[in-house]
Amino acid sequence: MGVISDGWADRNDVTEEYEEEAWGGLSIRIHSPRVNSFDNYYCSLRPNNNTRNPWFQEFWESQFNCSLDGHPEIPTTTESSTVNKTDSRKLCSGEERLLDNYAQDPKLSFVIKAIYTFAHALHDMQQDKCGNGTTGLCEKLLPFNGSMFKSYLMNVSFEYDEEIIEFDENGDPPGRYDIMNYQKLENGTFAYVQVGNWHNKSLSWTRPVQFGKSTIVKSVCAEECPKGHYKNVQQGGKDKRCCWVCVPCPSGEILNEEGESCDRCPLGSVPDERKQTCLRLPIEHMQWWNTQAIVAMIFASLGFLSTLFAFLVFVKYNNTPVVKSSTKELCYIILAGMTVSHASIFAILAKPSEVSCALSRFLPGMSFAMIYAAVLTKTNRIARILAGSKKRFPTRKPLFMSATAQVVITCFLVAIEIFISGGMLHFQVPTTIHVYSTKKTLLECDTSPEAIVVPLAFDFFLIILCTLYAVKTRNVPENFNEAKFIGFAMYTTCVIWIAFVPIYYGSESKVITLCMCVTLSALVIWVFLFVPKLYIILIKPERNNRALFTTSKSIRCHIGSRVASAVSNKSSTNSWKDSTTSGRENLPPQKRTMSCQTGSELLQVLLNPKALMEPYTTTTNSCTLPKITERDCCEADNCQVKKIIIELPDNPVY
């Protein structure tokens, strides 16, 4: 047996073709008795006796499709409003019956009760405001107060058809329903039969209930929604079968306990396949065995080995000219910075924690500061030496040229970077965060862009200064060829760093991008600054000669190996001859050249004094003096740099 709501009531359209299944069902119908007096009144109306209603004649003509004599033609439909029906419509005979095709509306009694309710409320309001016994409107009723009228409607109480009409505090009338039973009549047809009623919170049965077949009827709208679906109430539509439909929960949501809606899973979790519970996503971070981590560690390991190799070679050949001429103290600082750079790779790849996050922010900046502060000190020293060599007669030795001063300057620059990095760690304490996606949860360091940019900004400033000095000293003499390699290193480093910024902030692989930038920057310095020195020390030891790396403090010029030793040697006035002929008695004389960055007058004094040349002169015509040629090194009119070529005589006197 089915129990049906008042939406079904006694409707035959819902049971059509389903009579056997609906047989025995109980439905509820709002009590609305038939108003027989209205039928008699309605059927007695005629155009001649209902003149108080101005629309009744129009209704009559539309109802029976005829025309009343003396009444203007009224179109029967909207579509024919522009068509003249004078010739097509017949005159009304007056014998037409309103009873034909007539059915009283089931809710007619409600309409009557509503009209009486309004009338009683208006009457009570008019009597209270205008006085008892008065009729019509009075000034106290104007303007009309709707809120006041509502209070009178709520307090209406009158009797209609043996029923008390009144409302409760919610504005609802007393509930009264008819209990209908869908029965099979004796002639085999089906109909709704009233078997009871509900009135004033009491149920009474007036006739026996007829039960249908004992088979269980399965209702489509009574089925539960599939897993992961919720019931969505339909607001309308003529084709709807039920008052609700099953809707799947959106992505990332599960069905709540009531089954009427879906709730989104918390961050870091996803629904299961049935969308019943939320499952925690695994927390992932960079692992040592990831491909990106392996590539970064390979580069870092190569950097460690190369740095260690360069350190051991420099320690072994610590007192050789090639090591001493490159300011070995600064070289050791650069090697230490490179070691820290490669070590920082492992801190960046480690599992995010407060310690590893702090180290990944501190070590790269400090390592770069150690490298580029030492390189900057080197290039600055070379630039100052070059500036002093342009003076015709140097007056004093440049300041802070000693190795100790160079180390102090480098340490001061590194201290600035330590202060900046430490300050950023203080203002933005290193912590870890979870970054949620649809399929995984990433454990990362909570590092803002400022925490990366600010410590590296000072390093980039050092790189720019190193690059500027490298450009400035690109044309130094051969014994300063380290400046050229520093220039190559700085140009390559600038390319790496310029490419690092968009790649780091434009991709999701920030860890591997930072690792490669750090280790490549260190490897570039090793290739351009240390490989040439290692090449000379290990493969070309004959070039590891002090004469190739010595600069005269008096004239600041670069000369060939033998001439350089002759000019620099203070032991004897015969050093020139010794340097050009020692151990070569059986070889023919050779031409030697010397290029200087000083005036020819000073060279003439040094090379051609009478006292210097007398020991080698037997006759006044037997000796040919060295030939000195001077020309500008640049095309400008005021060029201060001269290139002086000294050609020794072919027939020196011994």
Break the chain down into helix, strand, coil percent, rounded to 5: 45, 15, 40
Are the C-beta atoms of 345 and 515 separated by less than 8 Å? Answer: yes
Can you read off the two tokens belonging to residue 280?
A: 């925690």
Q: Is position 82 within any domain?
A: no
Are the C-beta atoms of 45 and 23 separated by less than 8 Å? Answer: no
Q: What is the domain-level CATH number for residue 179?
A: 3.40.50.2300
Nearest C-alpha neighbor of 347 from the set 366, 367, 362: 362
Per-residue burial over 568-592, b if 16 or more Cβ lie within 10 Å, else e, is beeeeeebbbebbeeeeeeeeeeeb
Q: What is the domain-level CATH number for residue 244?
A: 2.10.50.30
- pLDDT at residue 78 in the model: 41
| Alpha-carbon dihedral 561, 562, 567, 573, rounded to 10 degrees | 160
Residues β-bridged to residue 248: 229
3-class DSSP state of 178: strand
Residues 357 and 499 in one domain: yes
| Alpha-carbon dihedral 119, 123, 124, 125, rounded to 10 degrees | 100
Residues 351 and 393 in one domain: yes
Q: Is position 375 within any domain?
A: yes
Can you read off the two tokens belonging to residue 129?
A: 């405001």
DSSP 412-448: HHHHHHHHHHHHHHHHS---EEEEE-SS-EEEEE---
**How far apart are the C-alpha atoms of 343 and 320, rounded to whole Å?**
30
Residues 395 and 512 in one domain: yes
- pLDDT at residue 388 in the model: 58
Residues 385 and 502 in one domain: yes
Nearest C-alpha neighbor of 389 from the set 645, 646, 640: 640
Are the C-beta atoms of 378 and 468 separated by less than 8 Å? Answer: no
User: Cα dist. 274→227, 246, 328, 483 in Å?
Assistant: 6, 15, 70, 70
3-state per-residue secondary structure call for 552-578 = CCCCCCEECHHHHHHHHCCCCCCHHHH
**Domain count within the chain:** 5
Q: Is position 307 within any domain?
A: yes
Residues ≥6 apart with Cβ < 8 Å to 237: none
Residues 352 and 442 in one domain: yes
- pLDDT at residue 389 in the model: 58
Residues ≥6 apart with Cβ < 8 Å to 347: 356, 359, 360, 363
Q: Is position 77 within any domain?
A: no
Are the C-beta atoms of 39 and 98 separated by less than 8 Å? Answer: no
User: Cα dist. 300→289, 373, 470 in Å?
Assistant: 15, 22, 27
Residue with tokens 């005829």: 66
Nearest C-alpha neighbor of 524 from the set 485, 467, 472: 485
Q: Is position 111 within any domain?
A: yes
Residues 355 and 456 in one domain: yes
Angle at 126 between CA 123 and CA 129, to 5 degrees: 145
**How far apart are the C-alpha atoms of 595 and 583, rounded to whole Å?**
24
**Domain boundary residue among 493, 516, 549?**
549
Is the backbone peptide bond immediately before 54 cis, with ω within 30 degrees of 0?
no
Q: How many helices (H) and strands (E) does the chain have?
A: 18, 22
Residues 266 and 353 in one domain: no
Can you read off the two tokens belonging to residue 251?
A: 């992505």
Phi/psi of residue 32, each to 5°?
A: -145, 85
Q: Is position 75 within any domain?
A: no
Question: What DSSP state is assigned to residue 346?
Answer: H
**How far apart are the C-alpha atoms of 501 and 497, rounded to whole Å?**
7
Instruction: Say which amino acid occupies 5.
Output: S
Range of the domain at 8: 3-31+175-217
Are the C-beta atoms of 388 and 398 separated by less than 8 Å? Answer: yes
Nearest C-alpha neighbor of 161 from the set 198, 116, 105: 116
Residue with tokens 């409707």: 11
3-class DSSP state of 280: strand
Residues 418 and 537 in one domain: yes
Angle at 67 between CA 65 and CA 68, to 5 degrees: 130
Can you read off the two tokens belonging to residue 258?
A: 């009531």
Q: Is position 653 within any domain?
A: no
Residues ≥6 apart with Cβ < 8 Å to 509: 292
Pairing verdict, β 176-184 and 26-30: antiparallel
Per-residue burial over 364-401, b if 16 or more Cβ lie within 10 Å, else e, is bbbbbbbbbbbbbbbbbbbbbbbeebeeeeeeeeeeee
Instruction: Please give the average pLDDT of every successive group of 10 residues along the chain, which has 654 residues.
Output: 75 80 83 85 87 89 83 45 52 82 84 92 91 86 88 89 84 84 87 86 86 69 75 62 76 78 82 81 80 86 91 88 81 90 88 86 88 87 68 58 83 91 86 79 80 85 86 63 77 84 77 85 88 87 66 39 41 36 41 42 50 43 58 52 63 47
Phi/psi of residue 272, each to 5°?
A: -75, 180
Residues 180 and 244 in one domain: no
Instruction: Say which amino acid occupies 601.
Output: E
**How far apart are the C-alpha atoms of 26 and 208, rounded to whole Å?**
12
Q: What is the pTM for the complete model shown?
A: 0.51
3-class DSSP state of 384: helix
Are the C-beta atoms of 206 and 197 separated by less than 8 Å? Answer: yes
Q: What is the domain-level CATH number for residue 421?
A: 1.20.1070
| Cβ-based neighbour number of residue 460 at 10 Å | 17
Are the C-beta atoms of 212 and 20 separated by less than 8 Å? Answer: yes
| Cβ-based neighbour number of residue 109 at 10 Å | 20
**How far apart are the C-alpha atoms of 587 and 589, rounded to whole Å?**
6
Residues 450 and 577 in one domain: no
Residues 399 and 320 in one domain: yes
**Domain boundary residue among 549, 583, 604?**
549
Q: Is position 298 within any domain?
A: no
Can you read off the two tokens belonging to residue 363?
A: 């070590």
**How far apart are the C-alpha atoms of 138 and 130, rounded to whole Å?**
6
Side-chain-facing half-sphere of 199: CA atoms under 13 Å: 10
Residues 394 and 275 in one domain: no
